[in-house]
Amino acid sequence: MKHTVSAQQPDNTRKEDTTPANTTQADEELQHDDVESEPPLIKDPLQPYNRAIFTFNDKTYHYFVKPIYTGYNSMVPEKARVSVKNFFTNIKMPVRFFNCLFQGKLKGAGTELARFVINSTVGVAGLFDPAKSKFHLERHERDFGQTLAKHKMNSGIYIVWPFLGPSTVRDTVGLVGDAALNPLSWISYFFLTPLEGFGNYSYDAVNDFSIDKGQTYENITEPAIDPYIALQDSYIQNRGKKTKE
């Protein structure tokens, strides 16, 4: 789907002002906010390729990933799976911490550092999240794609990657930046074989699917007439919202 915006031709015809005389500044600001809240228009010149990769990813999910996490769910209790998620989330703290700094969110960076100290000690190496349950310190989800957006980098075209799913040029660069900040990348590079490193990332992803039970993905794609467009729109709107936070 290629989004285009047509240029508006100048109109010198005088038009009747139909705006009510009692329109308040708040009304005008609300209208302005509504315009700003619209999802950005992102071009999709690679749609044939993107659709092919989407189909590949969708079949991989239904015929490979879903059976794996379904079997995993039947063997591993939910509390254990949540602890695994907490562990990986805690390890990836530098991604959130540094992106908070890059975006000028010093309070968020401080919160991430405090969460890491608490969860790494009281939370038994990050298996538990007392920072949230006891100290009410919420996680700040920040990534390098958001950082690039904050510094005015254009999103670029829409692209779908095998296994990774929907992205844009900017968010693809962001993934590389986040990987450089992720301790798992360094552990994999220096201490593990490529296959073992891939296994770590895969296990983290499967564990996340097991907790979500695929509902996020399936709720978007299954009811849709065109699942490709549904996932694309959902991704663009979600990323647009996150870059404004």
Query: Same domain for 109 and 67?
Result: no
Query: Same domain for 147 and 220?
Result: yes
Query: Same domain for 64 and 81?
Result: no
Q: What is the chain's mean pLDDT, rounded?
A: 87
Express each pLDDT in 107-161 by its tens digit: 999 999 999 999 999 999 999 999 999 999 999 999 999 999 999 999 999 999 9
Residue 31 within a domain? no
Give pTM, 2 decimals: 0.80
Angle, helices 47-60/227-244, rounded to nearest 10 degrees:
100
Residue 240 within a domain? yes
What are the pLDDT tens digits along the chain (245 aa)? 444 333 343 333 334 343 444 444 444 443 444 434 445 578 999 999 999 999 999 999 999 999 999 999 999 999 999 999 999 999 999 999 999 999 999 999 999 999 999 999 999 999 999 999 999 999 999 999 999 999 999 999 999 999 999 999 999 999 999 999 999 999 999 999 989 989 999 999 999 999 998 999 999 999 999 999 999 999 999 999 998 87
Range of the domain at 219: 46-75+143-245
Report the 3 state secondary structure along 129-195: CHHHHCCCCCCCCCCHHHHHHHCCCCCCCEEEECCCEEEEHHHHHHHHHHHHHCHHHHHHHHHCCHH
Location of structure tokens 């009510």: 20
CA–CA distance from 15 to each of 6, 21, 25, 105 (Å)?
A: 22, 16, 22, 46
Rg, Å, the chain Cα set: 22
